[in-house]
Amino acid sequence: MAKVKQSRTTPEDRVAVALRDIGVSYRRNVRTLPGKPDFANRSRGWAIQVHGCFWHQHNCSRGTMPSHNREAWVRKFAGNRARDEMVENRLRGLGLRVLTVWECETKDAERLRRVLETYLE
């Protein structure tokens, strides 16, 4: 797991391209905010988290459960979901709107751009 990339992943890069295309300014991996959101603009009051479907157990074909050492994976994924919820609540407590973009949602660039435009209006 140490080799799993934590920032500047392909899905994050796709979101960055979409944000640039719609002319939005942002900061990446903001360390001063809870959970280091992948994208944020404090003055406009928003944060975007890009979640991998496997690691955060999205309800899609990529959100699978490994069959080996299943109990450890169940604990790991439950911890990830609990941390995601806590981070989102803390960000909302700071007055930020929070959007979660799933890895599978980044594959269609035009749809992603429309979702981001709607969210950021």
Task: Write the CATH number for 31.
Answer: 3.40.960
**What's the domain count of the chain?**
1
Which neighbouring-strand residues pair with 40?
27, 47
Has residue 89 been placed in a domain?
yes
Q: In 3D, which of 110, 100, 109 has the Cα closest to residue 80? A: 100
**Model confidence at 41, in pLDDT bands (50, 70, 90)?**
very high
Give the pLDDT confidence score for residue 7 in this predicted structure.
Answer: 65
Give yes or no for residue 17 having a pLDDT over 70.
Answer: yes
Contact 14, 109 (CB under 8 A): yes
Give the pLDDT confidence score for residue 6 in this predicted structure.
Answer: 60
Please give the average per-residue pLDDT across 50-65, as a whole number: 85
Give yes or no for residue 2 having a pLDDT over 60.
Answer: no
Has residue 63 been placed in a domain?
no
Residues in the chain: 121
Taking the alpha carbons of 64, 66, 67, 71 in that order, is the dihedral positive or negative?
negative
Give yes or no for residue 109 having a pLDDT over 90.
Answer: yes
Has residue 58 been placed in a domain?
no
Has residue 3 been placed in a domain?
no
Host domain of residue 40: 8-45+81-121
Give yes or no for residue 63 having a pLDDT over 80.
Answer: no
Has residue 95 been placed in a domain?
yes
Has residue 60 been placed in a domain?
no
Provide the whole-model pTM: 0.87
Give yes or no for residue 31 having a pLDDT over 60.
Answer: yes
Please give the average per-residue pLDDT across 105-119, as a whole number: 95
Has residue 35 been placed in a domain?
yes
Residues of the chain with pLDDT > 90, as a percent, come to: 75
Write down the mean pLDDT value for the chain: 91
